[in-house]
Amino acid sequence: MAIRNAYLAPAESPPTEVEVKRALLTFDKIFIADPSDRDFIPPQSFMLAMGMPALFGGKLGGQSARCLGKTQNYDNRFDELLEVLKPARADGLIDVVSTYDLQTEKQFTIGAVLMGDYSLNPEFMLWSYRNVGRDNDVLVAAVSGDKELMSLPDELIQELAAPNGWADNRINDDPQLPDLQGNLEREQLREVLSQIARGRIASTMKAIGYCAAKDLVPVFAGDQPSRIAGSFARRAADVIDIVAEDDPHWLLRNRVLNIAHGEYLNEEVLQKMSIDDVLKLRTSAWGRQAEGRDDLLRSVSDLAKLGGDSEAFDKTVADRINDYRLRSAEVEKQRRGLQFKTNCELVKGTAGTMSSILVPGAAAGFLGHMQSAIGAATLLLAGCMWSVGKIQDRREAREALTNAEEDIGGDICLGLHSFYHQIAHAVKSDVVF
């Protein structure tokens, strides 16, 4: 089986050199988000997102849907990064991509909407976003604990916030999305922080869906995307708890164990290494280790779906983990100058989902993977589009989840730039920041 490729999900700042080097030491090929690809869905898709006939396509009043903001000098810093990455780009290991053809934003069409190969359903994405955007726990998770953000002066935080787009505003009888609720030390920033939170939520949703469609691992930098994904997972767990009660398929998926995998190295040493030196560490032994890792992560999900005795499942997975550890030993020797270590464990999560381990709390230097048997469709549909109070017919809900997973496909595998240990409770919104 081939080594998986990765997508460095966009953030307000461009990827760092260390983040890209880490990805090169972990995945086969790296796709980096185009600096101009900031919108949640193609802004010209308003009519399709509203579930209306495609009478025309074009930006509604020139508005975006919901963009992710940028730090100052983002584009210049991105160009500088690409210059450093030239050797890897020349080898075809790094490419800059957009989730859709950005040129279609500039076109006005009649009788059709040019989606530019956008791989997700805009109607599904819009209403999932508008539903989860009303959950204050998720809004708070998107910005709470972000010390770097809150260390900035007010004017720089204001510049970082992308203004509301049509996905945020009132749509027919559906009111505008609310601002953050709760205590804020800097009350004057409530609206701005709400805009930043919504940009991060939308961007995380798009990255998860896009990567599922393209069979990529989304790699998220920093704590906030993991907090957001953890909130999605917590919401999905609540929904699956209800629909799983009398259905063997979903009972099994809800019981499924999650596998957490982490790779540690000394980032200070990595920072000093040239890209050429990093590429030399992509040895045949690394290839075997990486293939073993990806095979292990995928096989656990497949085994969980097949059912069977819980003890036999645990033993089978434990045997595969031991086999993987043997493959890792040679790579650890080759990378001892980086203090490279791997860690792989089976984690019994709260409600059987990833929410219990997607909580920040580990040393810098880890790149973690989390694999779950629930698919991207389940995470987005049950975790974003729905909430427990909206489920009236369990049978219809189960059918919708099954159909969505067949359409989108792909099991969740997330790359996180710190390692996430088992914590019994998902992120809550009783945080003052």
What burial class does residue 260 get, using C-beta atoms within 10 Å of its C-beta: 0-12 exposed, 13-18 middle, 19+ buried?
Answer: buried
Contacts of 158 (CB under 8 A, 6+ apart): 189, 192
430 part of a folded domain: no
- In 3-state terms, what secondary structure has residue 392? coil
Predicted pLDDT at 149: 92
Q: Are 356 and 427 in contact (CB under 8 A)?
A: no
The DSSP secondary structure of 394-425, one letter per residue, reads HHHHHHHHHHHHHHH--EEEEEESS-----SS
- Give pLDDT, residue 319: 81
Its domain, for residue 101, covers 6-416
Contacts of 14 (CB under 8 A, 6+ apart): 35, 74, 77, 78, 81
* Strand partners of residue 33: 97
Instruction: Evaluate whether residue 408 is within a structural domain.
Output: yes
CB atoms within 10 A of CB 355: 27
Are 324 and 293 within 8 A, CB to CB?
Answer: yes
Does residue 63 lie within any of the structural domains? yes
Could you tell me which residues are beta bridge partners of residue 414? 370
Per residue in 129-185, pLDDT (tens digit) is 998 999 999 999 999 889 899 999 999 999 999 999 999 999 989 999 999 999 888
Q: What is the pTM of this model?
A: 0.81
pLDDT tens across the length of the chain (433 residues): 578 899 998 999 999 999 999 889 888 999 999 999 999 999 888 888 888 877 777 777 778 999 999 998 999 999 999 999 999 999 999 999 999 998 888 888 887 777 888 888 888 889 889 989 999 999 999 998 898 999 999 999 999 999 999 999 999 899 999 999 998 889 999 999 999 999 999 999 999 888 888 888 888 877 788 788 778 877 877 777 776 666 655 555 554 445 566 777 788 888 899 999 999 989 888 888 888 877 776 676 666 556 556 677 677 777 877 887 888 888 888 888 888 877 776 655 444 444 444 444 444 454 555 545 455 666 777 677 766 566 666 677 767 666 666 655 555 555 544 332 222 222 232 333 3
In a domain, 102, yes or no: yes
Domain count, the chain: 1
Instruction: Give pLDDT, residue 277.
Output: 92
**Position 135 in a domain:** yes
| SS3 (DSSP) at 393 | coil
Predicted confidence at residue 376, as pLDDT, reads 63
User: Rg (Cα) of the chain, in Å, rounded?
Assistant: 21
In a domain, 67, yes or no: yes
Which helix H or strand E contains 6, and what residues bound it?
strand 6-8
- Is 422 domain-assigned? no
The answer for residues whose C-beta is within 8 angstroms of residue 188's C-beta and 6 or more apart is: 154
In 3D space, the residue among 372, 290, 365 whose CA is nearest the CA of residue 324 turns out to be 290
Say if 425 falls within a structural domain. no
Residues facing 32 on adjacent strands:
8, 96
CA–CA separation, 55 and 48 (whole Å): 9
Which of 355, 370, 378 has its CA nearest to residue 209?
378
What integer pLDDT is reported at residue 250 of this predicted model? Answer: 58
pLDDT score for 418:
37
